[in-house]
Structure 1
Amino acid sequence: MLVMGLGLQGSGMASARYAAQQGAVVRVTDMKSPEVLAPSVRALAGLPIEFILGEHRDEDFIWADVVIRNPGVPRTSRYLLLAQEHGAQIEMEIGLFFLACPGRIIGITGTRGKTTTTSLIYEILRVHGQAPVVIGGNVAGVETLSLLPQITPETLVVLELSSWQLEGLAPHSISPSVAVMTNIYPDHLNTYNGMEDYAEAKANIFRFQTEHGIAVFNYDNSWTRSFGLEAPGETWFTSFEHGGSFPRSALVDGVPTLVEPLAIAETPLKGRHNLENILLATTTARLLGVPESVIVETVRRFKGVSHRLEEVCEWRGVRIVNDSTSTSPIAGQVALEAFEQPIVLVAGGNTKHLPLEQWPETIIKRCRDVILLPGSGTDELLPELRQEIERQGVIDPIRGIFDDFHQAIDAALALTHPGDVLLFSPGFTSFGMFLNEFDRGDKFVAYIREKAKDQ
């Protein structure tokens, strides 16, 4: 068995560990260097696994009977096609997990908000305490396959599922028994053949449900509203604009005729997008039988997740916010709309060739000062910002592009005044300067906390 993509976030390691523990002859291949992957290799020490790092070799893919591909590997990879030509079966970690999992799976997907929604659903179910609950899927550092020994038929299994992971369900025609879809926006279009292809990958979360399944969709997003009309099981919508949730049966000519109002409990989370996430999570919890009192109290205490509009600290009267998982323009735009205070923005990185849409306009409208990091995405953004400056007739807020990350943060801090928000929301991917968006966020938080010691 060949594991394609060891990675640093858990999926490749879990696949290799699981395969070795099942008695397979395991070989792992990854284009990253042995130095970068050393932590992952150490985590698998003692298992009979062969590592081929820093390259992919044709001979390994010809050798393999089964190839487990990392979610980051595109379906069209020539190595996967080579393996298929030689009779290999292509699998993904999440597909193997679904086939072996005895628990009830609650799957959450979407372009934005899936991590927050997943974490809140998990926390509500954990606090309720009526059944064992575990969390996994597209969660940094979690080896989902390694959860199997602790899962029984009574366990509730909460999984964040990316579009790439959901591709792994289609060959087996399986979907989680409870499916939640937050929204669909342009993303990963460097991997997919347009929005239809990307959205169809997401649709695997409900596509293979039976009439006994449950699905919850965000009515306020056109893609998820449309998908909600196709789901085969019990289907509910949530709507911030309509102020609550409603079953599909309440729709007449596409408009809800009866909405169950959901008073959103006091929450420390900022932005409309987070209120949409809360609506999805609380509606799902109600459908799973969680009492209102548990839901309200959990929402009140829930402070969100790392790297997603995470309030790091206050520095000389300035709120420092880490939104490093902002890897698309729509994410960058949503982050800016979450604050009313003056914003000093740190943005930029490498492109996924996504439409910038209203992000440049929002940057110029909402930000007093802008610091940019280098990258192909920044090269796309900069001329659009210049056009917006001219169109809006405002003073240029762009203070430069900084090749050195620490210098960029120092420059941003120097531009702040008490009452401001320093927002680190790149809007692009991190590769080149960082290992990934989590590494990027960790480095930002560490540097800010070091600076805060001296204030």
Structure 2
Amino acid sequence: MDLRGKRVLVMGLGLQGSGMAAARYAAQQGASVRVTDMKLPDVLAPSVQALSGLPIEFVLGQHREEDFIWADVVIRNPGVPRSSPYLLLAQEHGARIEMEIALFFLACPGKIIGITGTRGKTTTSTLIYEILRAHGGSPVVLGGNVAGVETLSLLPQITEETLVVLELSSWQLEGLAPHAISPAVAVMTNVYPDHLNTYRDIEEYAEAKANIFRFQSSQGLAIFNYDNPWTRRFGEEAPGQVWFTSIERDGSFARTSLTGGDLRVDPFRFTDTPLKGRHNLENILLATTTARLLGIPDESIAQTVRRFEGVAHRLHEFRVRDGVHFINDSTSTTPVAGRVGIEAFAGKNIVLLAGGNTKHLPLERWPEAIVRYCRDVVLLAGSGTDELVPALQEEAQRQEVSNPVRGVFSDFKEALNVTVALTRPGDILLFSPGFTSFGMFLNEFDRGDQFVAYVQAL
């Protein structure tokens, strides 16, 4: 897309790289660039500093209608809903609405391996990247929905031989639909209810995810988790070559074998891993199957899996102190994620720190898991916690046990003080909020960083 001479408005500078990359790319392409963000200048100072020296105008702490009327192209941050009245105003005045990831796809000469899903996409993406990088051969880069990575800024180092591993959110995948493009290789981990404060229902959310394979040709390759109903269905619909992975069936298999009467399951899977939980076995199986289909030898794959210790903020054990194991699972922003985090340590003595603000998702079996497996529970105040507290009381009565909740706190440090005081040698102190970080923190990464900093200072 030629942006030379265009008036480009970047809507959403943010702190994680996407807005910065879009602004830098547009300026380097010769566009006249403005950036607008509702966050205040002092919050966005690191991002503004990262763009110093470029001819970019900043309008921070507000959105102005005049900027959206001015723009020829608006590059919206993934967190900005399509229904924003500012975007509608820009469209009414002839502007094109784009997203950073679409600009990247249109300009990228390398082979793109895209990974999406409600849970597990970061772990799966990172493991695929590590396997490909460790093997050598083709150069490989990692980008997309990865905190701190400016994906557009990767373009100068990408050639036709480069393997490009991209974690893709539902919002980013929306940006591909107008251009009818999907990655050459698509991986879907699972679909659970999420972002229902943005989407009308799970069907609309799932359809956004489906853009990862919808526009593949018959030569495209897609790998789906057979054990999740949504991704199984999508695997049946995908237009290209399809493989399924299944922990329940103990391996992976081609879609064609489902109709051939002789289901041949390849039992290449791992339990020799530092990662905890069944969900991580699903992630590993998806990553290793993808790597094998890309021609990576089994032994090279196995060596990487054995030493892969996961990703920060995702069930990451970062310290053992006085016999207590501290686990940072701050990217747990849904009840499903909260339940999975607890179940990864079932049978251990768990002291849980959870809570936050709601995305209007069903609690489902999370309260049951909390009461069943957690000895003590400390909660952070928020609209989601307001939903969880009565559900935990009801669940405790149903299980005929005492309610494990030890308090609800609006001060993070006070909550941490109480949580640590409840621990004993041998315990798991699990920080797995199950809700969003809005209000108390900048984002889930800031939330996790504050937790880790507190524990490291003990």
TM-score (norm 2): 0.97
Q: Does the aligned pair in 2 maintain the 1:323–1:423 contact within 8 Å?
A: yes
Q: Deviations over 1:114-145 (max 9, x none)?
A: 00000000000000101000000000000000
Q: Distance in 2 between matches of 1:305 and 1:426?
A: 17
Which shifted more, 205-214 or 400-409?
400-409
Query: What is aligned with 2:417?
Result: 410
- Name the stretch that deviates more: 67-76 or 258-267: 258-267
In structure 2, distance between residues paired with 1:410 and 1:367: 18
Aligned equivalents of 2:254, 2:94: Cα separation in 1: 46
Quick one: distance in 1 between partners of 2:404 and 2:207? 40
1:346 aligns with 2:380: no
C-alpha separation in 1, matches of 2:313 and 2:355: 16
Q: Which residue in the other structure is 2:264 paired with?
A: 258
Aligned to 1:37: 44
- Are 1:265 and 1:296, in contact at CA under 8 Å, matched by a contact in 2? no
Check if 1:65 corresponds to 2:72.
Answer: yes
Q: Distance in 2 between matches of 1:20 and 1:256?
A: 56
The residue correspondences of 1:117-132 to structure 2 (distance < 5 A) are 117-132=124-139
What is the CA distance between 1:258 and its match in structure 2? Answer: 1.8
Structure 1 portions without partners, runs of 5+: none
Q: Aligned to 1:187, what secondary structure does the other structure show? A: coil
**Corresponding residue to 1:399 among 406, 409, 426:** 406
Cα deviation, residue 6, structure 1: 0.3
1:316 equivalenced with 2:322 (yes/no): yes
Letter of the structure 1 residue corresponding to residue 90 of structure 2: A
1:13 paired to 2:26:
no
Letter in structure 2 aligned against 1:19: A
SS of equivalent to 2:237:
coil
Q: What's the CA shift for 1:256?
A: 7.5
1:51 aligns with 2:63: no
Q: CA RMSD in A?
A: 0.9
Larger displacement relative to structure 2 (258-267 or 283-292) = 258-267
Match of 1:81 in 2: 88
Distance across 2 between alignment mates of 1:56 and 1:354: 29
Q: Quote the residue 1:101 is aligned against.
A: 108
1:282 aligns with 2:288: yes
Runs of 5+ consecutive residues of structure 2 not aligned to the other structure: 1-7
Q: Which residue of structure 2 aligns with residue 268 of structure 1?
A: 274
The one of 329, 334, 354 equivalent to 1:328 is: 334
Q: What does residue 136 of structure 1 align with?
A: 143
Quick check: 2:226–2:244 contact (8 Å CA) kept in 1?
yes
| Aligned mates of 1:51, 1:256 — CA distance in 2 | 61
Q: Does 1:232 align with 2:239?
A: yes
Count of matched residue positions in the alignment of Structure 1 and Structure 2: 450
Q: Quick one: which amino acid aligns to residue 321 of structure 2?
A: W
Distance 1:257 1:180, change over 3 A: same
What displacement does 1:163 show?
A: 0.2
Contact 2:271 2:281 in 1 (8 A): no
* Distance in 2 of aligned mates of 1:124 and 1:333: 29
| Among 363, 367, 372, the residue aligned to 1:360 | 367
SS at match of 1:36: coil
d(CA) in 1 for partners of 2:225 and 2:187? Answer: 9
C-alpha separation in 2, matches of 1:183 and 1:403: 33
- C-alpha contact 1:265 1:300 (8 A) present in aligned 2: no
Alignment-mate amino acid for residue 387 of structure 1: E
Contact 2:355-2:434 at 8 Å conserved across structures: yes
CA distance in 2, matches of 1:442, 1:407: 16
Residue deviations 1:406-432 (CA, integer Å, cap 9, x gap): 111111111111111000000000011
After superposition, what is the alpha-carbon deviation per residue over 1:359-412, rounded to whole angstroms, capped at 9, x for unaligned? 011101110000000100001111111110111110121100112111111111
* Structure 2 counterpart of 1:178: 185
Q: Which residue of 1 aligns with 2:3?
A: none
- 2:110 touches 2:161 (CA, 8 Å); kept in 1? yes
Which aligned pairs between 1:209-228 and structure 2 lie closer than 5 A? 209-228=216-235
**SS of alignment partner, residue 186 of structure 2:** strand
| Aligned: 1:206 with 2:192 | no
What is the match of residue 386 of structure 1?
393
Do 2:170 and 2:208's aligned partners in 1 also have CA atoms closer than 8 Å? yes
Q: Which runs of 4+ in 1 moved over 6 A?
A: none
Which amino acid in 2 is paired with 1:26?
A: V
SS at match of 2:376: strand
2:188 is the counterpart of 1:187: no
Q: CA deviation at 1:265?
A: 5.2
